[in-house]
Chain A
């Protein structure tokens, strides 16, 4: 969509231009290790690309040969039946899968052209630029203020108290929760409602100045009204961030996403249920004129 502005990114921070954080701008942050100059792009290189990605849990192959190209400033949705590996794929995009001892990712995942699975890449640095929002809201059992500032601090934020306040306000503003919490920043993040907690978690994720936010079914624990607010928020955030969202709710994918990836389960000869990417196309196209029969079956409810 707004790809022109971000095409030949050399430094991620320049991409953060629209972020209204005068005081919390990258100078206060340490050098970015993950951002490198992209190769001269032949086609539209996205912010994150996967090439021939296979993911295993021990000897079980959870997903097979995934090739995805997530564009800048777009919302991409991952849909598919339960167990097809949506979360697995999402977690591999910022190396959260590393936390599962048996998990193993093969193939290449590039972020701004750099393979995040290359030897020598520290997953800690990757996660700072590719933030994550989880299915169940999981604020830290600390004050709302601490929830936001902690991520910045551990990533080397050296601003003054006033600049820290600005950073917190800005993140909460962007996450559309500032008005609700501005008078109780010192109260526990756990004192908020589920929907507020989830927006707090989004604010926390964007406070470390990422440019991609991964969301794994962020609304599945929320009521419809809270869900609506998060969806509105995602459309807002799209201007500054690339968002990749896993959802089991097809309407949600249709409402918010620009592109949708449909995954399906393939039964192998040995009876293993391996997830496969069926198609990754613009959302309006996927829901009106899917290329594949499997997609059509799924979205029309004839699945299974």
Chain B
């Protein structure tokens, strides 16, 4: 003990004097300030990037358009004796819509439409009864022979497409439309004056300038169409929802189960280390590889299952929403496992000891004490998985999401398309309208993601605040 005191004094000499320390302090603080500035700059960059992304999407989703209608909706409404200022085309009854459609298209086109899908269950509009009976008893009866009749939205779309025939000849983005709407109109006028050959069918007088929200309620509930003016993303939204449901149904129980085994039951062993390492690595595997896997396993090898053949469903192949959902499930599985493991690891060991200490088995302890505490953390992983399942495109292309499909997916064995696929395909088209539509679909995708995440976050908060 007596030797300790002088030693201490010696150590004192290695520390700075008061004057030196002041300098040191200044230097330390400057370094801290530089670090802080860097972090702020990093945050600013991230915020700017996000803002730019949102700006681009919103900017393209709304704005002025120059539109030419072959027939004005007001005229159609008026022809039925309604006041166009109070009644919109969509307010017309089903019968009236069918009637106006019949008045504007050739019988041949009408027959074709009727063969695709009939207008009434009990009567025919364009076909004659004898011919209908004949074609329906032929070897290859058209789809209209046994499908249910069209609905109001479907006929409204037909009237828009075939009778109103809106043609958007130019469109402006949101910001220019707001700042200088006149410039857009002048632009179009100049184009008409200088290069009339670009719009051989129209005169400038026919052009209507109006605001258009490319993302609008009709857009959301209308099936896909080849005409940009009347297309919608209903099919893609439903496809994405089905995809998410199947993905979560597969990935959450399997992922949480695997995490529980690894964290709570597995004893440390070389094999378990190996499994753990592989799970961590799988989280980083590019999604296209999962697409290849899904194609090989779900679409090809398990075709009987994924096409629904073993359930007696007739389907050409395994390129169904089930295949895609399972592929996405595989893709999100590592994320779910890893975040669930982290959530379980964060549960204090004292809780496990408490459970086992009163004579509970491991499973009883995990189920009643550990899992409830871990659920908020597990849901965080589910949110991440959800976001990936909604946004991934590459695997969907590989497992064969349909590019053009107008029928709603009705179950796991349906053909489908999804929002990212739709966006991808529209951006590849040359006409300017599709770019705006792709932006509107992107906005929809973001909003859908927000809604689903908000749901998961609410669930998570409910669990973490629940009076236990």
A127 touches B358 (CB 8 A): yes
B139-147, B228-236, B338-346, B348-356 - the one binding chain A: B348-356
Q: Does B107 contact A (CB under 8 A)?
A: no
Inter-chain contact B359/A128, CB cutoff 8 Å: yes
CA distance A252 to B310 in the complex (A): 73
The answer to whether B468 touches A188 (Cβ under 8 A) is: yes
Say if the beta carbon of A227 comes within 8 Å of chain B: no
* B467 lies within 8 A of chain A by Cβ: yes
A142 to B357, CA, bound (A): 16
Q: Which B residue sits closest to A138, measured CB to CB?
A: B350
Q: A141-B373, A188-B467 are in contact. Are A151 and B359 (CB under 8 A)?
A: yes
Instruction: Say yes or no: is B369 at the interface (Cβ < 8 Å to chain A).
Output: yes
Q: Does B360 contact A (CB under 8 A)?
A: yes
Is A228 an interface position by the 8 A CB rule? no
CA A151 to CA B364, docked complex, whole Å: 10
Q: Are A151 and B358 in contact (CB under 8 A)?
A: yes
**8 new A-B pairs (CB below 8 Å) besides A136-B350, A151-B360, A204-B358?**
A128-B359, A129-B359, A138-B353, A150-B358, A150-B368, A154-B361, A201-B354, A205-B358
- Give complex CA distance A140, B354 in Å: 8
Complex-state Cα separation, A186 to B466, whole angstroms: 13
Cβ of B268 within 8 Å of any chain A Cβ, yes or no, is yes
Residue of A with least CB distance to B468:
A142
| B335 to A: closest C-beta gap in Å | 26
In the complex, chain B residues 257-277 whose Cβ is within 8 Å of any chain A Cβ? 267-268
Question: In the complex, A188→B372 CA distance in Å?
Answer: 14
Contact of A132 among B352, B357, B368 (CB under 8 A): B357
User: Which residues of the partner chain B approach A132 to less than 8 Å between Cβ atoms?
Assistant: 353, 357
| B351, A154: Cβ atoms closer than 8 Å | no
CB-CB nearest in chain B for A98: B356
Residues of B within 8 A of A128 (CB): 358-359
Interface residues of A in 102-147 (CB under 8 A from B): 124-125, 127-129, 131-132, 134, 136, 138-143, 146
Interface bits A212-247 vs B (CB < 8 Å: 1, else 0): 000000000000000000000000000000000000
Asked whether, in the complex, the Cβ of A205 is within 8 Å of the Cβ of B468, the reply is no
B351 partner, pick from A127, A129, A131, A138, beta carbons under 8 A? A138
State which of A134, A139, A141, A150 has its C-beta within 8 Å of the C-beta of B353: A134
- Please give the distance in Å from A49's CB to the nearest CB on chain B: 21
Contact of B359 among A146, A187, A201, A208 (CB under 8 A): A208
Q: A155 interface residue, CB < 8 Å from B?
A: yes
Complex Cα spacing A208 to B356, Å: 12
Nearest-neighbor residue (CB-CB) of A143 within chain B: B468
Per-residue interface assignment for chain A, residues 8 to 29, with 1 indicating a CB less than 8 Å from any chain B CB and 0 otherwise: 0000000000000000000000
**B361 lies within 8 A of A124 (CB):** yes
A134 to B372: give the CA distance in the assembly, Å: 22
A-B contact pairs, 9 of them (CB 8 A): A127-B356, A127-B357, A127-B359, A131-B357, A138-B350, A138-B354, A146-B468, A150-B360, A155-B358
Chain B, residue nearest A137 (CB):
B350
Tell me whether B357 and A140 are in contact (CB under 8 A).
Answer: no
Interface residues of A in 86-109 (CB under 8 A from B): 94, 96, 99, 101
Q: How far is the CB of A101 from chain B (nearest CB, A)?
A: 6
Q: Give complex CA distance A142, B358 in Å.
A: 15
Find out whether the CB atom of B360 lies under 8 angstroms from the CB atom of A131: no
- Residues of B within 8 Å of A155, CB to CB, are 358-359
Task: Please give the distance in Å from A81's CB to the nearest CB on chain B.
Answer: 21
How long is the Cα–Cα vector from A271 to B358 in the complex, in angstroms? 38
| Residues of chain A with a CB closer than 8 A to B357's CB | 94, 96, 127, 131-132, 134, 205
The answer to whether B354 and A154 touch across the interface, beta carbons within 8 angstroms, is no
Interface range, A side: 20 to 34
Q: Which residues of A have CB within 8 Å of B364? A: 154
Question: A22 CA to B351 CA in the complex, in Å?
Answer: 30
Interface residues in B, total, Cβ within 8 A:
22
Contact B373–A124 (Cβ < 8 Å):
no
List of A residues within 8 angstroms of B350 by Cβ: 134, 136, 138
Q: Using Cβ atoms and an 8 Å threshold, which residues of chain B touch A141?
A: 351, 372-373, 468
Whole-angstrom CA separation of A124 from B362 in the bound complex? 9
Cβ of B359 and Cβ of A140 under 8 Å apart?
no
Measured CA separation A127–B350 after assembly (Å): 16
Which residues of B approach A to under 8 Å, CB–CB? 267-268, 348, 350-361, 364, 368-369, 372-373, 467-468
Q: What residue of chain A has the Cβ atom nearest to residue B368's Cβ? A: A150
Instruction: Looking at the assembled complex, report how far the CB atom of B31 sits from the nearest CB atom of chain A, in whole angstroms.
Output: 39
Chain A contacts of B373 at CB under 8 A? 141
Closest residue of chain B to A133, judged by CB?
Answer: B357
Residues of chain A within 8 A (CB-CB) of B358 are 127-128, 131, 150-151, 154-155, 204-205, 207-208
Residues A140 and B467 in contact, CB atoms below 8 Å apart:
no
User: How far does the Cβ of A193 sit from chain B's closest Cβ, in whole Å?
Assistant: 17
Minimum CB–CB distance from B85 to chain A (whole Å) comes to 61
Give chain A residues whose Cβ lies under 8 Å from the Cβ of B356.
Answer: 96, 99, 124, 127
How far is B358's CA from A134's CA once the two chains are assembled, in angstroms? 12
Cβ contacts under 8 Å, A131 to chain B: 357-358
Q: Which residue of A lies closest to B350 (CB)?
A: A138
> How many whole Å from B276's CB to the nearest CB in chain A?
15
Min CB distance A149 to B, Å, is: 11
The interface residues of chain A lying within 8 Å CB-to-CB of B355 are 140
- Within the complex, the shortest CB–CB distance from B456 to chain A, in Å, comes to 22
In the bound complex, residues from chain B placing their C-beta under 8 Å from that of A138 are 348, 350-351, 353-354
Residue contact B359 to A124, C-beta cutoff 8 Å: yes
Closest CB in chain A relative to B219 CB, distance in Å: 47
CB-nearest residue of chain A relative to B357? A132
Select from chain B the residue with minimum beta-carbon distance to A190. B468
Contact B354 A139 (CB under 8 A): yes
Q: Separation in Å of the B461 CB from the closest CB of chain A?
A: 16
Q: Tell me which residues across on chain A come within 8 A of B467, comparing CB atoms.
A: 143, 186-188
CB within 8 A of A101: which of B268, B351, B360?
Answer: B268
Whether B351 contacts A124 by the Cβ 8 Å rule is: no
Which of chain B's residues have a CB closer than 8 A to the CB of A150?
A: 358, 360, 368
How far does the alpha carbon of A139 sit from the alpha carbon of B355 in the complex, in Å?
9
Nearest chain B CB to A94's CB is how many angstroms away?
8
In whole angstroms, how far apart are the Cα atoms of A207 and B373 in the complex? 23
Q: With A and B bound together, what is the CA distance between A124 and B355 in angstroms?
A: 10
Q: How far is the CA of A150 from the CA of B372 in the complex (A)?
A: 14
CB distance from A158 to the nearest CB of B (A): 16
User: Shortest CB–CB separation between residue B262 and chain A, in angstroms?
Assistant: 14
Query: How far is it, in angstroms, between the C-alpha of A243 and the C-alpha of B29 when the chains are bound?
Result: 57
The interface residues of chain B lying within 8 Å CB-to-CB of A146 are: 468
What is the bound-complex CA distance between A127 and B369, given in angstroms? 17
CB distance from A213 to the nearest CB of B (A): 10
Which of A134, A138, A186, A204 is packed against the most chain B CB atoms within 10 Å?
A: A138
Instruction: Kindly supply a per-residue 1/0 record for chain A positions 251-267, scoring 1 wherever the CB is within 8 Å of any chain B CB and 0 otherwise.
Output: 00000000000000000
Which residues does chain B contribute within 8 Å of A99, judged by CB atoms? 352-353, 356
Closest to B369 in A: A140
Using Cβ atoms and an 8 Å threshold, which residues of chain A touch B361?
124, 154
